[in-house]
Amino acid sequence: HEQRLPMVENRIRDRLGELSGGLGAADWLDGAFSAGDLMMVHVLLRLSGSGILHEYPNLFAYVARGEARPAFKRAFDAQLAVATAASRSI
């Protein structure tokens, strides 16, 4: 596991570099905020504990903008409600 970690981190950085380049200075991936941004912000949040996002200032800001959107909060709350209900039924 430990031996593969550098390879995995390099692959993640490659993909983040592509995403960062595609986003550029734009606020959102395809002009206006969309479901695609909602999903991408959710994916990128999984990296928040690693510190890797700090290497890509535009992606770090993108995630912050996404989290601030009411649509993101609604989607997160809905997902949490489903997970909570599922855990209660076990």
Query: Could you give the number of structural domains in the chain?
Result: 1
Q: Phi/psi of residue 18, each to 5°?
A: -65, -45
Residue 51 and residue 48: Cα distance in Å, rounded? Answer: 6
30 DSSP assignment: T
Indicate which CATH number applies to the domain containing 37.
1.20.1050.10
pLDDT tens column, 28-69: 999 999 989 999 999 999 998 899 999 999 999 999 999 999
- Higher pLDDT: 36 or 72? It is 36
Domain that holds residue 45: 5-88
Report the pLDDT value the prediction gives residue 39, as an integer from 0 to 100: 92
